[in-house]
Structure 1
């Protein structure tokens, strides 16, 4: 038990810090190594490890990644970013449009993929217009996190929670879409106030040249094909009883059979690291569950009034935990203890809103925040920890207040 706990703590230390201190072992590497060590030393049997992997969640996420990659290789994201950036509107209105686009796309497509695809183009467009890229990148990032809470397919943690609680697509959307939508104006209001009078890019001319960003040519036919497949998939999620994983895999298969775009190009856009991360965490968490330590911890938490089957308690736990270890690991920690809830949809909303809304507090609170900061740095725009938190903390707190009111209404 002690060795299993040590491995567990080291893995989740890497989840929180971003790597295992002293080693070049990132989050995915730590999860995979932890799982392999537990298997190799016999702390978990191969069959138990295999059974621990939630193939429904992995399959659903993989299928949606392939679908989203079809929009990447067709040039849709680049065209969308160029269209938004080319609108002749004031900076506050441009910010509002950008927030709406980010929130909408992230609700239908995996939010991390949307952020990866559009961030470099947004940097280039804002610099070309002489605008300060930081408020627009922050608004885009915050909206991607908040908007992704609206649907099951908005983020991996939503998929994990919905699978554990057996919530339907419409049932999930019924309890999470409205607060996610209402959170978007709060993002705009906060950033518009913080950056009032600071919309212009103030660096010297030698530093204002827009970074060279490779723009993928827009393919109208492939974009229409991907859009039709996505709409059919969403319709199947809503109106059919077909398992979500099979719907996503079927849509991915249709898009991979292509005469003009190589399947290799599409599959190269799939985040295999995230899939391996989840598989590793499934195995590590199962090994810890076998020690019965989590059950003792839950008993201790209940002594402080925190019951994971109560939506408000879950909202509080998720808001804190997701900023310590990350969104996906946080949900995976509590997933085994979600059975028996009298109000599974409210509990699912608490998980989605707690992780999606609170993850804007700090850069490492979400993968989207890390992506925006890193890609911004690569393209010449430095977003410091304090700059991110100065805007992200009030956004997160306002959205969480909204979430508390909503959860009280649901219960």
Structure 2
């Protein structure tokens, strides 16, 4: 076993027991220390580590974080919650609103954007309802994950599959194959979380230390959102026509966030509110997973099975459990390099299982990490590793089994 794989396992263990570690130790600290250890031990060179980072994803996240910060600064979260508060919503209505809004946002703007935009909304709703923020934050995580499964731009792994999986018409293919599992999983998640809330049920006065929005000009943020949606959807259509007409998603996000920095007089506040710790987390994660891939441990463990990676049971097992160890984005990047057969059913099953794997552990999906670190930025303790896992375990099992049956036995 290589040193880099040992470090990866230690990172996973430390994150799983973080609730018993010092409160100042955040997820991005743990991942960063793992990356530094790998670099100091010479597992990868500094040049290889730099080139191994997917700067396209980093640029995309910076652009999305900037747009999300500008949206919050414009007061969108307050306006949404004020509207709900005027109509005296119940917990069930608020939960349904949050999940539908987050799921649609994830499908259109990707899961990471939905996580950033949805966190302050979830925290504000929890304060209005006088309940623990934990339920709504977990609901945000699972709805963002499930909703992102529906489109080729819903999450970074879907973008990789659409770009490298030889899918001729990504938008219609994802919608046709995955709309039923998405709707079923979202409905089951809603009713399960409603049941969980009734069990928790005690009022709570804990509230987030949310900074007051400046309520400045809203049009730069809305223009950025519109540009991001149009450019992502347009790029997806262009890819289906001719793969050579592809604009990297990082470039799209950087262009889309330009109105925020060019026309918003609170641009310094927006830049300050960008989630820099999460960007550092991603850089460190790419270094760690790149070192594991370079070590050859995975190829050795797979052995002759490496030629059977398109078989549904093996694909489901590896993509699901591999996402727990490496997170789903690096896992898909590795898996696509090892696959020899890239049929449409294989790509759809790979997308569904790697995406739904994000509902098991915090580290399984980047959007979960974003929600945790956004909440902690607002001085809220979101949820523990095991509280998240145990709450979402039924959702994970049911949605995964249903999706597998639908794709393998109904659609194929």
TM-score of the aligned structures, taking structure 1 as reference length:
0.77
Aligned to 1:11: 8
Q: Secondary structure at the match of 1:189?
A: helix
Change (3 A) 1:165 1:291: same
Aligned to 1:192: 194
Aligned to 1:296: 300
Which has the higher mean CA deviation after the structures are superposed, 232-241 or 181-190?
A: 232-241
Change (3 A) 1:70 1:177: farther
Aligned to 2:349: 350
* Structure 1 Cα separation of the partners of residues 252 and 377 of structure 2: 38
Please give the residue correspondences for 1:266-281 in structure 2 after superposition, counting only pairs within 5 Å. Answer: 266-281=270-285
Which has the higher mean CA deviation after the structures are superposed, 185-194 or 45-54?
A: 45-54
1:309 is aligned to 2:313:
no
Question: 1:303-322 CA deviation, whole Å, 9 max, x = no partner?
Answer: xxx93233443222222232
Change (3 A) 1:362 1:82: farther
Aligned to 1:249: 254
Which has the higher mean CA deviation after the structures are superposed, 9-18 or 180-189?
A: 9-18
* Structure 2 Cα separation of the partners of residues 377 and 45 of structure 1: 33
Unaligned ranges ≥5, structure 1: none
Please give the residue correspondences for 1:361-376 in structure 2 after superposition, counting only pairs within 5 Å. Answer: 361-369=360-368, 375=375
Q: Secondary structure at the match of 2:359?
A: coil
* Structure 2 Cα separation of the partners of residues 15 and 385 of structure 1: 10
Change (3 A) 1:366 1:280: closer
* Structure 1 Cα separation of the partners of residues 166 and 131 of structure 2: 46
Question: 1:161-213 CA deviation, whole Å, 9 max, x = no partner?
Answer: 444435565266334454323321111121223334x585445xxxx375553
Please give the residue correspondences for 1:312-331 in structure 2 after superposition, counting only pairs within 5 Å. Answer: 312-331=313-332
* Structure 1 Cα separation of the partners of residues 125 and 144 of structure 2: 19
Q: Using the TM superposition, give the Cα deviation of residue 280 of structure 1 relative to its aligned residue in structure 2, in angstroms.
A: 4.4
Which has the higher mean CA deviation after the structures are superposed, 143-152 or 155-164?
A: 155-164
* Structure 1 Cα separation of the partners of residues 351 and 116 of structure 2: 21
Change (3 A) 1:64 1:121: closer
Aligned to 1:182: 184
* Structure 2 Cα separation of the partners of residues 103 and 235 of structure 1: 17
Q: Secondary structure at the match of 2:149?
A: helix
- C-alpha root-mean-square deviation of aligned residues, in Å? 3.9
TM-score of the aligned structures, taking structure 2 as reference length:
0.77
* Structure 2 Cα separation of the partners of residues 378 and 247 of structure 1: 28
* Structure 2 Cα separation of the partners of residues 381 and 281 of structure 1: 23
Q: Using the TM superposition, give the Cα deviation of residue 77 of structure 1 relative to its aligned residue in structure 2, in angstroms.
A: 3.8
Q: Using the TM superposition, give the Cα deviation of residue 244 of structure 1 relative to its aligned residue in structure 2, in angstroms.
A: 3.5
Please give the residue correspondences for 1:10-409 in structure 2 after superposition, counting only pairs within 5 Å. Answer: 10-15=7-12, 17-18=14-15, 26-30=29-33, 32-34=35-37, 36-37=39-40, 41=42, 44=44, 48-49=48-49, 51-84=51-84, 86-131=86-131, 133-165=133-165, 167=167, 169-170=170-171, 173-174=174-175, 175-196=177-198, 201-202=202-203, 208=205, 210-218=207-215, 219-240=217-238, 241-245=245-249, 246-262=251-267, 264-299=268-303, 301=305, 307-338=308-339, 340-343=340-343, 345-369=344-368, 375=375, 383=383, 387-408=387-408, 409=410
Which has the higher mean CA deviation after the structures are superposed, 137-146 or 153-162?
A: 153-162
Q: Using the TM superposition, give the Cα deviation of residue 354 of structure 1 relative to its aligned residue in structure 2, in angstroms.
A: 2.0
* Structure 2 Cα separation of the partners of residues 287 and 65 of structure 1: 27
Which has the higher mean CA deviation after the structures are superposed, 165-174 or 71-80?
A: 165-174
* Structure 2 Cα separation of the partners of residues 69 and 377 of structure 1: 13
Is the CA contact 1:16–1:325 (under 8 Å) kept in the aligned structure 2? no
Is the CA contact 1:149–1:176 (under 8 Å) kept in the aligned structure 2? yes
Change (3 A) 1:193 1:18: closer
Question: 1:207-241 CA deviation, whole Å, 9 max, x = no partner?
Answer: x3755532324443234322321332134223333
Is the CA contact 2:228–2:252 (under 8 Å) kept in the aligned structure 1? no
* Structure 1 Cα separation of the partners of residues 281 and 164 of structure 2: 18
Is the CA contact 2:108–2:153 (under 8 Å) kept in the aligned structure 1? yes
Which has the higher mean CA deviation after the structures are superposed, 353-362 or 397-406?
A: 353-362
Unaligned ranges ≥5, structure 2: 239-244
Change (3 A) 1:278 1:228: closer
* Structure 2 Cα separation of the partners of residues 62 and 330 of structure 1: 22
